[in-house]
Structure 1
Amino acid sequence: MAPTPSDKKKKRQTVAQNLRKSNENKENVIPCTPSVSNPKSPFFTLRESRLFNVTNTPKRGISESPVDTTPRTPHNVYSYKKREFTGPSCEKLSSYASKTAKDHTKNVSDHYQVIHNSLLIELMKQTVCERCQSKWNGDLATANREGLYCSLVFTCKCGHMIKIGTSKCCPQTKMRDVNIRCVIANLAGIGHQGLAKLFGILNVPPSIDDDHYSHTVAHVLPSLRAHQQNSMSAAVEKACTESGSRQLSVSGDGSWQRRGFSSLNGVAAIMSSSTTAKVLDIERMSKKCSTCIGALSIKHVSREKYEAIINKHNCEMNHTGSSGAMEVDGIYRLFERSQHLYNVQYVNYIGDGDAKILPKLLNNPPYDNITINKIEDINHFSKKMLHRLQKIAQDLKQTKIDGKNDMMTNFKYYYRQAVVRNKTNLDEMVKSVWAIWKHKASTDLEPHHEWCSPIFCGFTKAWEEDKEYDHTKHSLPLAVMNAIRPVFTELASRATLNRVLNGSSENANESFHSILWSFAPKNRYSPGTIIDVCVALAVLVYNDGYQSIIPVVEQLTGGEGGYYTRLGMERFDKLRVYYEHKKKRKEDVRAKMSVEERKQQQDDDEQLDDAYLPRAY
C-alpha cells in the first residue's frame, strides 16, 4: 500500500525532529572522553584535567551575559599626577617598590571565586559521565572539610565519583592556602569570631575551629616575625645612614589594648626620628597567658598532662606588675637589646614628660659610658599651658576665659606654634611665647606688639600699611590677663623652654598605634599570639606599605601571592599616597588664605545649614 501524503509529511517531521535533537546534544554536551571519530579531539577526561568548559548555548538557568565590546581602562592601571611634594608615605612606599620591583606572571586565574553549589550541579549536568557515557545526573557531597577548604565529591547515578579540592595544599605542610589567608585577614581588624559572623552572613560554612585556628596562627607567626625583623633591621640601617653614626635619636612610646590602667596587653615601640619615621624595634607586653589559664582546668585531674602543657608551650606572659609599668619596662628592654641586636645605641630619647622612662634609663644605664639625653615631646609639653589655664579657671569658679570655650585650647595652640617655629633658638622662643600674652593684653591705648611676628599680627600689618587697628576684637580684660600671667611666667622661662630646645614629637608613634589597634581593635580582647600577628602586620604596613605583605603570603602558600592579592595591596598603597597628597593640598590652600578668608570659612562652618532645619523638606 502506497503511503499517503499525510504519512510522508509525518515521516519528514519525525526525521527533522530527531535531527534537531541530535544536533542539540552534540552542541550542548561536553564529552568527558576523547572523541572516537576524531583522535585529535582537545577534550580530556575529568580525572586528568579537572577542568570544565561550558557551551555558549543557554541551558537550564545558566545564561551567557551580553558581551560588552566598549573599550575600558584596565582596572589595575593607575594614573597619578607627578607632584613636587613628596610626603613620608610616598617616600617609604616608593623606596620599597624600587627595591622589590620584579616581573610577575599575571595569572588572572590565580584567585578564588564564590559560587553556589546548585550552580556546580547545573554545570555537571551539562557534561557526559566517563563511565556510563550519558548525561551526568547525580549529586554533590562534601567528603572532607577543614575551615574554608573542602573536598567536593560529584557522584553520578551510575556510581562514578569525581573528587575536587577547593584550595591547594601549601608546601611542606598539610595546611591549605585559604585557611592561612584567613589568619592574615587580621588586616581587616576581624578575628576568628569576626570571620565566623562574616561567613554566616555570606551563607558560607564556618571557618576553622578554635584549635585549628590557633594551630594555623602558630604556623604563620614565625614567617611574619622574620619579615618584621627584616623590615626593622633595614629601617635601622637607613637611620644610621641618614645620621652618619651608629648613635641614633629615637622616639619611644607605649600603648595599651584597653583604655585605662587595667589592660592585660600593651606594646612599646622605638621609632626613628627622621622625616620618614619607621619602626626600629617593638615589644609586646602581656600579663596573661591564655594557654596557662586554659591548662588550669586539668591541673587537678591530670597533673602529668598539666605539667607537659606548661613545660612545652611558649608562654605569652612576659610582664608582672601594673599595666602602667608596661611602657617603662618595654622601652627599657628595647634600649637594652639595641646594641647586640643592631649594634646601635639610642643616645637621644624623645618622650612625653609624664613618663618614668628617663629615670630608669639614668639609674640603670643600658650602655657603658653613654648618657642618654631626653628630648621633650613638644605636643605633650604644650599641654602644660592648657592644664595650667584650666586650673586657674577652676580656681576662679569660671569655665571660660573670655566667653569662648575654645580660648584655652587656642592658647595651647599658640604656645606650641611659638615653640615649634623657634625650637633651635632659645631667645626667640622666649620672646615668641611672651608675645602671646602681650598681644592679648594690648589695647588701643597701650599696644604691646614689639615682639609680635609681622606675619601673624594684624596690628603690625596695619601699622606697616598706615592703617588703623581695633584691638577690641582679640584683646582680653586686664583682670583675666593678670590672672594668667603667672602661667606665662612659669612656661616662658628659659629653664622651662630649654627642655624643648631642638625638640620633636611622637606623632609617628601615635600614627603607628592607630594602625596597630585597627588590626586588633580595643573593643575586643585578643590573646598575645594574635597581638603578635597584628604587630608584625602593622610594622610591615607602616614601614613598607601593604605590598610588603605579599612576600609573606608567597612564602607561606608557595605561589605568587594571588592576582587579586597583589592588585588589592597595590591599591591600598596608592590610596595611602593619594590621601597624603590630598591632605597636603588642603593645607597649602588654607595657608594661602588671608586672615579674613579663614575667619569667613570658620563662620560659614559654624552656621547651620537650612537643609537640616525642621520641616526643611
Structure 2
Amino acid sequence: MADVKVYIKGKLAKKGKALKSKRMQQFNTLKNSKQEVLHELHDHTYEQAIELDDAGAHFEVGTSTGQTPWFEGRRVVELDVLSQNMNCIKCNSWLRLHDIMDEVICGMASLLYIKCSSSLCQYVNTVPTGKRSDNRSFDVNSKAYLAMINAGMGPSHVAKFLSGCNIPPISESTLRDKEKKLTPAIFDAAEASCEREREEEREKSFSTGLEGSFDAGWQKRGSGWNYNSNTGHASLVGVNSGKILNFDVRSKICSVCQFHSGRNETIPSHECNINWTGSSKGMEPDMACSIMKDMADKGFEVGTLHADNDATTQSRLPSTITKKDDKSHVKKNLSSRLYSLSKKYKQLKSAKVIPYIVRCFMYTISKNQGSKDAMEAELASVVPHIFGDHTQCSKSWCTYNKDPAKFRYKHLPNGRALSGESLKEEMENLAKSYIARADRLKNLGSTQANESFNNSVVSFAPKNRFYGGTKALKARVSSAVMQKNEGCGWLSKVNEKASLSPGHLTKLYGLRRDRIRKKTRDLKSTVAFKRKRVSLKYKHVQCEQREAVKEGDTYGEEIELKMLMLKLFHQRGG
C-alpha cells in the first residue's frame, strides 16, 4: 500500500512527517509564547559557562498528542522550584496540580501547563519541575548523564532503571548530546587534577626527576593468546603521592566513520575518534612514550619508571629514564611457573605448598633489595631448604638450627621436606633463572597503584560493553582519574566545570563513601586482617580439593567425550 501523503507548507510529504511537523509547531508555539517563568533558582555562580541544551528538548507532549498522559507514572521534581512557581503570573492566584492541562517532557524534567483556578483569569501558566540553565536546558538532564557515568551504566541501563520505577525514561539521544557537551568539562577537570598532583609529586620528590609507575589496560579481556582490543588506556602514578600524574587513551574505531562507511556514504567532516591504527599490543609502549613526552613538555622530567616486562616499553623510552621491574609481576610469573610444574609433580598440588615456595623466594628478594651478592647467596639456599638441606640457610628466616630435632615445616605436607631428584633439579633450574636476574631484582618497583586504577576504569567502563566509538570512553577514563585523585566527591568538581550546582547531597554521599573507603583500606592493611585472609583462602582451597577428590573428575576439556569413549571401551569388553 502506498504511503499517504499530505501537503506541508505547499510541499508534498508523508503523513508521518506531517505529524512530526505538527508537533514541532505546537512546541514552538509554546516556546515562543509570552509566558515567562517568574522564579529561576540558581544556587551557584561560576565564571565560565558551558552551553547545554536538551537536544531539541526531545519533548513528548501529553494528552493533546496521544502520548502518555501527564497523570501517568512518576516524575522527578525539585520541590523548591515547583513551590515557588505555583502562582499565576497574571493574577497571582495559587495554582493547583489537578488543574494541569498538558505536559512537555524534557528528558527527566517537565514543563507543566496549569490553568489558573480563578474564573476571571483562566490563564495557562508554564511551570518547570526543575532548575534550568541560562540557555533554558534542565540541570537534571546533565546530572543524569554524570550520574550514569559514576554508576558505570549506559543509556539503556538508565532507561531500564527509570522505566522500572515507572518514570518516563530519558532518551538515548539526550544522553548522547550531553556526552558531547560535558566530556570536555570532565576531561578538563581531570587534567586540572593531574596538574595539581604533578606539583605535589615534585614537592615530595627527593631528586630532580620524578619517580612514577606506569601500566596500561585494554577495554576487552585478552584470551591469553589473542589480544585484539580496539581501545586502551594508560596511567602514570606518582610513587610519593599515589595519585595520577598523567593518562592517555587510544581508540581504533570511530562510530561516525563506521556508520557512513557501512552505508557506502561519504564520511562528513567531524571530530574523528580514531587516534591509533596499529596493533592492540603496540598501544602500551606508544602511550608510554606519549605520556613521557607530554610530561617533559610541561616541565616535569621523569627519572625513574616502575613498569612490568609485558611490553617493549623500556626499549622505546629515553636512556635517561631508569626502569624498575614490577614486584607483583615477578611474583605472578613465579607462581605461574610453579603451577605449571604441579601438573607433573604431585607434591606441589597440596594447597599450601606453592604459596609457601613463593613466599620463600619473594621474602629473599624483598629482604635483599639493594644487595646483589646477598640476594644471589640466599636465593641459592631456598631450594636446598625446601628439600631438607639447611647448611646454607640464614638464621634470620630458618629456625632449623635452634632445635633440629623438633623442626617441622608449617606449610609442607606432614611437616616434612619435599623429595625427588627430578623435582629438585627443576626447582634448582628455576632458582638459577632468578639468580641470573639478581641485578634487576635487587631494585624492584611496584605498579599496584596502576592496577588499582585499571580496576576503577573497569567500574566506569565495564569490559562487556563498548564505549570506544565515541567520546564516552574518554569521559569514563577521565572520571576514573578524578575518583583516584579527588575521591568519591569528584562529581562536585565536574559540576563546577560544567556550570552546574555542586549538589549538597552529592557532596555528602561522596564524603561518606570516602570515609568508608579509608576505614576499609586501614583495616585491610593490618597484619591480623592479612593473616585471616590467607587462612580463609587456604581453607577454601583445601575444601575445594577435598570435595574434588570425593566427586572425581566432573569438569575438564572434552571430559564428556572421554567418559563416553571409556564407557564404549568397557562395553566392548576392553
TM above 0.5, one fold? yes
Whether the 8 Å contact between 1:251 and 1:350 is mirrored in structure 2 is yes
Amino acid at match of 2:255: S
What is the aligned partner in structure 2 of residue 459 from structure 1?
400
1:272 CA displacement: 1.5
Amino acid at match of 1:296: S
What is the aligned partner in structure 2 of residue 163 from structure 1?
126
What is the aligned partner in structure 2 of residue 197 from structure 1?
160
Pairing 1:221-240 to 2, within 5 Å after superposition: 221-240=183-202
From 514, 519, 523, the counterpart of 1:573: 514
1:252 CA displacement: 1.2
Q: What SS does structure 2 have at the residue aligned with 1:354? A: coil
Pairing 1:474-485 to 2, within 5 Å after superposition: 474-485=416-427
Whether the 8 Å contact between 1:434 and 1:492 is mirrored in structure 2 is no
Pairing 1:6-17 to 2, within 5 Å after superposition: none
Whether the 8 Å contact between 2:213 and 2:237 is mirrored in structure 1 is yes
What is the aligned partner in structure 2 of residue 268 from structure 1?
234
- Bigger mean CA offset, 213-222 vs 182-191: 213-222
Describe the shift of the 1:462–1:256 C-alpha distance in structure 2 as closer, same or farther (beyond 3 A): same
Whether the 8 Å contact between 2:237 and 2:243 is mirrored in structure 1 is yes
Pairing 1:368-517 to 2, within 5 Å after superposition: 370-393=319-342, 398=344, 400-404=346-350, 407-442=353-388, 447-448=389-390, 450-454=392-396, 456-462=397-403, 468-470=406-408, 473-493=415-435, 495-517=436-458
Q: Deviations over 1:71-98 (max 9, x none)?
A: xxxxxxxxxxxxxxxxxxxxxxxxxxxx
From 145, 154, 161, the counterpart of 1:183: 145
Larger Rg computed on CA atoms: 1
Describe the shift of the 1:552–1:427 C-alpha distance in structure 2 as closer, same or farther (beyond 3 A): same
Pairing 1:224-303 to 2, within 5 Å after superposition: 224-260=186-222, 261-274=227-240, 276-296=241-261, 300=265, 303=266
Measure, in 2, the Cα distance between the counterparts of 1:598 and 1:319.
43
Describe the shift of the 1:117–1:570 C-alpha distance in structure 2 as closer, same or farther (beyond 3 A): closer
Whether the 8 Å contact between 1:449 and 1:459 is mirrored in structure 2 is no
Describe the shift of the 1:403–1:576 C-alpha distance in structure 2 as closer, same or farther (beyond 3 A): closer
Measure, in 2, the Cα distance between the counterparts of 1:116 and 1:278.
42
Whether the 8 Å contact between 2:74 and 2:167 is mirrored in structure 1 is no
Q: What SS does structure 1 have at the residue aligned with 2:153? A: coil
What is the aligned partner in structure 2 of residue 351 from structure 1?
307
Q: What SS does structure 2 have at the residue aligned with 1:295? A: helix
Describe the shift of the 1:503–1:600 C-alpha distance in structure 2 as closer, same or farther (beyond 3 A): closer
Describe the shift of the 1:248–1:205 C-alpha distance in structure 2 as closer, same or farther (beyond 3 A): same
Describe the shift of the 1:600–1:390 C-alpha distance in structure 2 as closer, same or farther (beyond 3 A): closer
What is the aligned partner in structure 1 of residue 549 from structure 2?
none
What is the aligned partner in structure 2 of residue 531 from structure 1?
473
1:475 CA displacement: 0.5
Q: What SS does structure 2 have at the residue aligned with 1:314? A: coil
- Bigger mean CA offset, 470-479 vs 130-139: 130-139
Whether the 8 Å contact between 1:281 and 1:334 is mirrored in structure 2 is yes
From 138, 145, 161, the counterpart of 2:105: 145
1:549 CA displacement: 2.7
Q: What SS does structure 2 have at the residue aligned with 1:251? A: strand
- Bigger mean CA offset, 130-139 vs 509-518: 130-139
1:533 CA displacement: 1.0
Q: Give me the TM-score of the superposition, normalised by structure 1.
A: 0.67
Amino acid at match of 1:547: G
What is the aligned partner in structure 1 of residue 565 from structure 2?
none
From 196, 209, 213, the counterpart of 2:175: 213
Describe the shift of the 1:555–1:503 C-alpha distance in structure 2 as closer, same or farther (beyond 3 A): same
1:599 CA displacement: 7.1
Describe the shift of the 1:552–1:408 C-alpha distance in structure 2 as closer, same or farther (beyond 3 A): same
Q: What SS does structure 2 have at the residue aligned with 1:359? A: helix
Measure, in 2, the Cα distance between the counterparts of 1:538 and 1:134.
47
Describe the shift of the 1:245–1:230 C-alpha distance in structure 2 as closer, same or farther (beyond 3 A): farther
Whether the 8 Å contact between 2:383 and 2:431 is mirrored in structure 1 is no
Q: What SS does structure 2 have at the residue aligned with 1:203? A: coil
Describe the shift of the 1:604–1:316 C-alpha distance in structure 2 as closer, same or farther (beyond 3 A): closer
Describe the shift of the 1:461–1:576 C-alpha distance in structure 2 as closer, same or farther (beyond 3 A): farther
1:380 CA displacement: 1.2
Measure, in 2, the Cα distance between the counterparts of 1:118 and 1:383.
50
Whether the 8 Å contact between 2:212 and 2:304 is mirrored in structure 1 is yes
- Report the number of matched residues: 459
Describe the shift of the 1:244–1:174 C-alpha distance in structure 2 as closer, same or farther (beyond 3 A): farther
Whether the 8 Å contact between 2:523 and 2:529 is mirrored in structure 1 is no
Whether 1:544 and 2:486 are equivalent positions in the alignment is yes
What is the aligned partner in structure 1 of residue 271 from structure 2?
314
What is the aligned partner in structure 2 of residue 14 from structure 1?
none
Describe the shift of the 1:461–1:603 C-alpha distance in structure 2 as closer, same or farther (beyond 3 A): farther
Measure, in 2, the Cα distance between the counterparts of 1:118 and 1:384.
53
1:408 CA displacement: 3.2
Whether the 8 Å contact between 2:75 and 2:168 is mirrored in structure 1 is no
1:255 CA displacement: 0.3
Amino acid at match of 1:337: D
Whether the 8 Å contact between 2:76 and 2:109 is mirrored in structure 1 is no
1:390 CA displacement: 4.3
Q: What SS does structure 1 have at the residue aligned with 2:100? A: strand
What is the aligned partner in structure 1 of residue 495 from structure 2?
553
1:604 CA displacement: 9.4
Measure, in 2, the Cα distance between the counterparts of 1:600 and 1:137.
59
1:181 CA displacement: 0.8
Q: What SS does structure 1 have at the residue aligned with 2:112? A: strand
1:473 CA displacement: 0.7
Q: Deviations over 1:114-170 (max 9, x none)?
A: x946999xx99xx99997989958543544222112101223575442321122122
Measure, in 1, the Cα distance between the counterparts of 2:100 and 2:425.
83
Describe the shift of the 1:259–1:48 C-alpha distance in structure 2 as closer, same or farther (beyond 3 A): closer
Describe the shift of the 1:136–1:263 C-alpha distance in structure 2 as closer, same or farther (beyond 3 A): closer
Whether the 8 Å contact between 1:177 and 1:557 is mirrored in structure 2 is no
Whether the 8 Å contact between 2:390 and 2:400 is mirrored in structure 1 is no
Measure, in 2, the Cα distance between the counterparts of 1:119 and 1:219.
24
What is the aligned partner in structure 2 of residue 335 from structure 1?
292
Describe the shift of the 1:435–1:544 C-alpha distance in structure 2 as closer, same or farther (beyond 3 A): farther
Describe the shift of the 1:478–1:599 C-alpha distance in structure 2 as closer, same or farther (beyond 3 A): farther
Q: Deviations over 1:318-340 (max 9, x none)?
A: 00121111112111111122211
